[in-house]
Amino acid sequence: MLVTRRATAVLAGICVAVTAAVVPTAPAHASCPDNFCGTWGTIVADPYLSVRATPDRSQSPIGHANHLDPVKISCWTWGEYIDQGQWPSAIWDKIVDDNTGSAGYGSDAWIETSSDVRTLVPQC
């Protein structure tokens, strides 16, 4: 009986390890080109996307990104649910101004990326 329990525990551990290995996650960055660890997105809001200090619309915008501007996305976080844009979403992307280095949040509903941003960058 003891041998059977050990075998079951070992097999259960293998199944968990295999399952965990196939779950997509954001890549780990050992070194980052141009000191930027992240991905690029494109603003699809027209005429612009308001950029905010927090991932919600309760504060005034701290800036904006124009329609079709490429933006650097450093991470994502949960925030206010936005039911407009390409798809309804509570995900907000932290975007970085390439000229000033300042950062703020934009709703992921208005930022196009190559795939789900949660698989491209880490959570903030």
**Looking at the domain assignment, is residue 19 inside a domain?**
no
40 occurs within a structural domain: yes
Tell me the per-residue pLDDT of 79-108, one tens digit each, with 9 for 90 and over: 999 999 888 999 999 998 877 778 999 999
CB-CB contact of 121 with 74 (8 Å): yes
The number of beta carbons lying within 10 Å of the beta carbon of residue 67 is: 13
Q: Which residues contact 56 (CB under 8 A, 6 or more apart)?
A: 79, 80, 92
Burial of 35 (0-12, 13-18, 19+ CB in 10 A): exposed
Residue 111 lies in a domain: yes
Range of the domain at 115: 29-119
Q: Which two tokens stand for residue 66?
A: 């124009």
Q: Is residue 83 part of a domain?
A: yes
pTM exceeds 0.75 for this model: no
Instruction: Name the stretches of the chain with pLDDT < 50.
Output: 1-30
Q: What is the CATH number of the domain that holds 38?
A: 2.30.30.40
Rounded distance, CA 120 to CA 23, Å? 13
Question: Is 102 part of a structural domain of the chain?
Answer: yes
Number of domains in the chain: 1
Residue 36, in any domain of the structure? yes
**Main-chain phi, psi angles of 6, to 5 degrees:** -65, -45
Which pLDDT does position 101 carry in this prediction?
Answer: 79
Give the pLDDT of residue 100.
77
pLDDT at position 36 is 65
